[in-house]
């Protein structure tokens, strides 16, 4: 009887070990599958985002500056004394190299704010540069 009980206990332990191995294997497979699915989804999303970035049109600096200048001009049509629009237009035109185009809004700023020395200084510098170019062009 003891041998039957001993065999039963051994068989039960083997089944228990087998069940533990199966449960461990199922756990490992499910964890691995979830991890692989997550990584695959992450790479798929990253790949799609990189494609979207590549297809975005590149706007040239000149086009951007031109659009900014047009925007400031539209604001000035509605509000001719808008300081922010006048300053923005001056900055954009100077960045574009259009010094002659920057003179008129600078003159308007000096007229609106005669106490602002910075406007006067920039206006004089721009006038000198524009005048210097005209003199250089006339000598040739």
Domain extents in the chain? 1-56, 61-139
Task: Tell me the pLDDT band of 139, cut-offs 50, 70 and 90.
Answer: very low
Residue of 97, 130, 94, 96 lying closest to 109 (CA atoms) = 94
Concatenated DSSP letters for 55-91?
HSPPPPHHHHHHHHHHHHHHHHHH-TT-HHHHHHHHH
Separation between Cα atoms, residue 11 and residue 99, nearest integer Å: 96
The yes-or-no verdict on residue 138 having pLDDT over 50 is no
- pLDDT for 40 equals 82
pLDDT tens sequence across 83-127: 999 999 999 999 888 999 999 999 999 999 999 899 899 999 999
Return the CATH number of 61-139, one of 1.10.238.10, 3.30.1360.30, 1.25.40.10, 3.40.50.620: 1.25.40.10
Prediction pTM value: 0.54
pLDDT tens sequence across 23-78: 999 988 888 888 888 888 887 877 776 555 555 555 688 888 899 999 999 999 99
Q: Which two tokens stand for residue 5?
A: 């009980």
């Amino acid at each position: 009887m003891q041998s039957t009980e001993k065999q039963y206990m051994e068989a039960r332990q083997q089944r228990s070990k087998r069940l533990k191995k199966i449960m461990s294997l199922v756990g490992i497979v499910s964890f691995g599958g979830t991890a692989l699915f997550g990584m695959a989804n992450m790479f798929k999303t990253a790949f799609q985002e990189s494609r979207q970035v590549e297809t975005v049109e590149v706007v040239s600096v000149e086009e951007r500056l031109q659009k900014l200048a047009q925007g400031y001009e539209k604001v000035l049509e509605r509000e001719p004394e808008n300081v922010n629009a006048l300053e923005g237009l001056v900055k954009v035109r100077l960045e574009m190299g259009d010094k002659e185009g920057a003179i008129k809004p600078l003159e308007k700023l000096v007229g609106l704010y005669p106490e602002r020395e910075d406007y006067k200084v920039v206006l004089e510098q721009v006038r000198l540069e524009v005048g210097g170019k005209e003199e250089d062009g006339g000598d040739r």
